[in-house]
Amino acid sequence: MINIARNTAIDYLKSKGFQNELKNQPLPDFVYNSAELSTTNNSSDFIGFNNVLEGLETDKQELINLAYYQGYTQNEISEKLKIPLGTVKTKMRNALMKLKDLLKDYQ
C-alpha cells in the first residue's frame, strides 16, 4: 500500500501538470523591482544591440528573439515554427556566428 502511494506521488512529480504548475508560480516582488532597475540602466545598450540585430536576416532575428528575449528552448522553437529541431540548431548556430561577425564590425 505504501509503495502504491509512493509511486503515485513520484508519477505526479514527474507529470507535465506539476511541471507547468512550477513554471506558472508568481514571482516574488523583489524580482520585479530588480527588473525595473536593470531595464532603465541598459536601455541604450539594448537599442544599440537591436541595431546590430537588424543586420541579420529576418528568420535569424526571429530565432534570436525567441531564444534569448522570450526564453524559448530550441525544442519549443522547433514546435512553434514547425521546423525540424536540427534545422533550428543549425540556423541558431549560423545566426550566432553571423551576429559575432556583425559585432566585430560594429566596434
Q: How far apart are CA 23 and CA 17, in angstroms?
A: 10
Averaged pLDDT of the chain: 77
Around Cβ 62, how many Cβ atoms within 10 Å?
Answer: 16
| Domain-wise residue ranges, the chain | 2-38+45-106
Q: How far apart are CA 50 and CA 102, in angstroms?
A: 12
- Is the predicted pLDDT of residue 49 greater than 80, yes or no? no
- Is the predicted pLDDT of residue 40 greater than 60, yes or no? no
Q: What is the pLDDT of residue 51?
A: 77
Q: Is the dihedral of CA 78, 83, 87, 93 positive or negative?
A: negative
Judge if pTM exceeds 0.85: no
The architecture (CATH level 2) of 2-38+45-106 comes to Orthogonal Bundle (1.10)
